[in-house]
Amino acid sequence: MRTYELVFIAHPSLEEEGLQGVVDDVKGFVTEAGGNVVDVDHMGRRRLAYAIRNLWEGYYVLVHADLEPSAVAGVEHELNLREDILRYLLIRLDEEE
């Protein structure tokens, strides 16, 4: 198990309730892949530095999760399928801290 850091940008039209649903789904991806969620931090609604799909805002959510390295591809696959996630970054944390 390694610790990974995931930041994703959720669609701005979701509002708070919809966002919570997305966050729960993402947590589900992690747990279904045999990992566990260590921490979730809502960084809030922020303006994007450039437009993604003609949108200028998004909800940033930071997730720390322990995952088996082989399970990462599966989680990324699920994230790629989500239309309400504009962008994500999934990186390994342990080598850097």
Partner 1 sequence: MADNQEEREGRSRPSRRPQRESSYTRHNRRFCEFCAEGIEHIDYKDIDLISKYVTESGRILGRSRTGTCAKHQRMLTRAVKRARHLAMLPYTAEHARGGGAYT
Tokens of 81: 């399928």
Which residues does 54 contact at the CB level (< 8 Å), separation at least 6? none
CB closer to partner 1, 32 vs 56:
56
Query: Per-residue x/- mask for partner 1, residues 56 to 85, rule CB under 8 A?
Result: x-x-x-x-----------------------
Q: Amino acid letter at 33?
A: A
Rounded Cα distance, 19 and 43, in Å = 12
8 Å CB contact between 46 and 58: yes
The number of residues that bind partner 1 (CB under 8 A) is: 19
Nearest to 65 by CA among 4, 20, 9: 4
- Nearest approach in angstroms of CB 97 to partner 1 is 6
Which of 50, 80, 81, 83 is the binder for partner 1 (CB under 8 A)?
50
90 binds partner 1 (CB under 8 A): no
Residues that bind partner 1 (CB under 8 A): 7, 9, 43, 46, 48-52, 54, 56, 58, 60, 62, 87, 89, 91, 96-97
